[in-house]
Each structure stands twice: as C-alpha cells, then as structure tokens.
Structure 1
Amino acid sequence: MGHVFVKAKFRGKGEVVYDEILVDTGATFTVLPLEVADKLIETPFTVELKLGNGEKVVAKVYVAEAEIEGRRGPVRIVAFKGAIPVIGVDTLETLGLRVNPVTGKLEKTEYYMLYV
C-alpha cells in the first residue's frame, strides 16, 4: 500500500496547517512537535508514550479541532520535543475516516465518536 499522506488543519488558540502529514494506522494518537502544538489548547495532562523504537517519552496533551477531508471535530494531540508529526487512529475514528488498504486513500465511514 505504501505511505498515506493527507492535508490537515488543526485549530486551537491558533492554526496549524500541514499540506502533507503521514497517516499512521499503527499510532493511537495524533502526534505533533512540541513547538508546533503550542498554537493549540494545552491541557494540564501528560502521558507516557512508548515509541515505535521502544523509547519512552513524556508528552503533553493538547486539544484542537482537526479538519481532514472536509470533516471537522475535536481531537486529542500529544506533543513532545523532536516528535515527527503523524495522524493517529483516534483522530481518524473521531472524524469518521479510515485508510483503504487497496487504494491507499482515506475513505469516509460512520462516525465512531464525535463529529461537528
């Protein structure tokens, strides 16, 4: 299937736009670099994450409105210094999107969580 990239916007205190951001169906949460996520709404929460290489990091939790493929909704984002930006499954399910493994494109599905 290869890699899937999409255009995504995140809105909070400010706006973050990616013309191309990787969709990672192996990632639970959407991840952004800490310096980018500061434009969003930070919560008082942190979470310990285990990265794909086995490294553990403590990440800040942010909330933003995400817009992908014309769908918008509130999503949780984790951020830490040096993070590589990815869209995780939590965001896809919130927006009612999934990756079609045959075409390598996003498809609209039923909404699993909340959609605005």
Structure 2
Amino acid sequence: MEIVQGRLIVRVKLEGKKFNTFEDALIDTGAAFTVIPAEVADFLELGVWKKRPKIELVTASGLIKPSVRILDRLEVGNVKIENLPVVIHEIPDPAPIKILLGMNFIERTNLLVNGKQKLFKIEDP
C-alpha cells in the first residue's frame, strides 16, 4: 500500500450483523479507538459495547463523550479483525476521510511502514 500525501489510507470492509460496506479509512496512530460515523454504524446495525457503552475522549475538536459499539468484522486485504470496539463520532468537515483506524485496530495487526519508500502494509500477526 502506498503513503499518499503523508497519509496511510486503506480500503476497508466493515461488517455488521446483516450488512456490510466498503469505505476508505485513515490509519491514525494518535487515535486510541477506531472511529466510524453514526450513519455507518446505524446502517450496519452495530450493537452497543456492554463493557463500556460510552467513553470520554480528547480529540482535535475537544472533549467528546461518544457511544461505543462493536463492529462484527473489519477487513483490510487479508487481515480480518472481529468484535472490534468502535467509537461513534462524526469527523468534522473538511476531512475527506470519515473513518479512522485507531490503536485498538493497529494493536491487533502488524503495521509495517517504510517512510523512505512511501509504502506500508498491514499483516495478520
């Protein structure tokens, strides 16, 4: 995968109980959680994370208290992550990418970045 304009952007498949969707996502090492907009979470019919239904986070936009739901499955290439907690939050405009893959995703993969060659890859650990 290629680093474009200093960003690690990937095409992901997000799966809920009945539906799935393909979206572009930004890998964000500064985000503790993976973030998806409410519209996508509602479409996928994601269930609430019973362990922590709401959390408090500091973002570039300030302090937020979003709900947390469980994404049934997230796929990036050959990497498949199941039961991933996701924060429901709208990334403000003018951001072109509305889905962030945070550290709770990255910690379950091998993320290899070659900055000099502007390449990265995500592997199953």
Q: Which runs of 4+ in 1 moved over 4 A?
A: none
Cα distance in 2, alignment partners of residues 52 and 58 from structure 1: 14
Alignment partner, residue 94 of structure 2: none
Cα distance in 2, alignment partners of residues 71 and 27 from structure 1: 20
Name structure 2 gaps, 5 residues minimum.
92-97
What is the root-mean-square deviation of aligned Cα atoms in Å? 2.1
CA positional deviation for 1:102:
3.2
Q: Which has the larger radius of gyration?
A: 2
Are 1:73 and 2:81 matched, yes or no?
yes
TM-score (norm 2): 0.72
CA positional deviation for 1:109:
5.2
Alignment partner, residue 100 of structure 2: 86
Are 1:41 and 2:50 matched, yes or no?
no
Can you list the C-alpha shifts for 1:5-26, whole angstroms capped at 9, x where unaligned? 10111112221321x2211111
Alignment identity in percent? 27
Alignment partner, residue 8 of structure 1: 12
Alignment partner, residue 114 of structure 1: none
Change (3 A) 1:48 1:98: farther
Name structure 1 gaps, 5 residues minimum.
112-116
Cα distance in 1, alignment partners of residues 55 and 79 from structure 2: 27
Q: Structure 2: which amino acid aligns with 1:85?
A: I
